[in-house]
Amino acid sequence: MSICAARVDERMIHGQVAMVWTNVVGANRILVANDDVVKDDLKIEGLKLAKPAGIKLSICSIQRAIENLKNNKYGEDNVFLITRNIPDMANIINGGVDLKEFNVGNISSKDGSQQIKKSVNVTPKDIEIIKDLINKGIKITAQMVPNEPDSSIMTYIEK
């Protein structure tokens, strides 16, 4: 099993992820990891409908995703890991999953967040987590679609 790509995307599976990213990264399985989504039957059904034909889908809590990835549950699959937010991705990395980089795609505006890019809003806590992960050697980009430059997210935060 290999994680062929990882992305923070609040919308999880949608047009860009389903039709563009999955093909570009060569994934044959999408793993959505989030503690709230796994308990929401409506969201689960929406994710099943949104996934591309022929692509496997797993929807797990953060802890289950960590266990499954560390225990090679997905065998030879090329896994595209998607979390809804930066803390979830950090928890997976800090939980021992060997992930060297991830992309931040869509995070909507919330109280206390700042817009750093057209579709990316981060809170002070997100920025703290990002800096911590970068200090640990994790590459974090902010890229909406694959043909955009894969610039470090810090180039947007430090403007």
* Angstrom distance (rounded) from CA 139 to CA 45: 32
Known active-site residue 14:
yes
CA 51 from centre of chain:
15
Residue matched to tokens 């992960």: 133
Residue 71 has a CB neighbour count (10 Å cut-off) of 9
Positive or negative torsion for Cα 107, 104, 37, 34: negative
Q: Which of 1, 11, 14, 67 is catalytic?
A: 14
Q: Which of 129, 48, 144 is nearest to 88 (CA)?
A: 129
Catalytic positions, please? 14
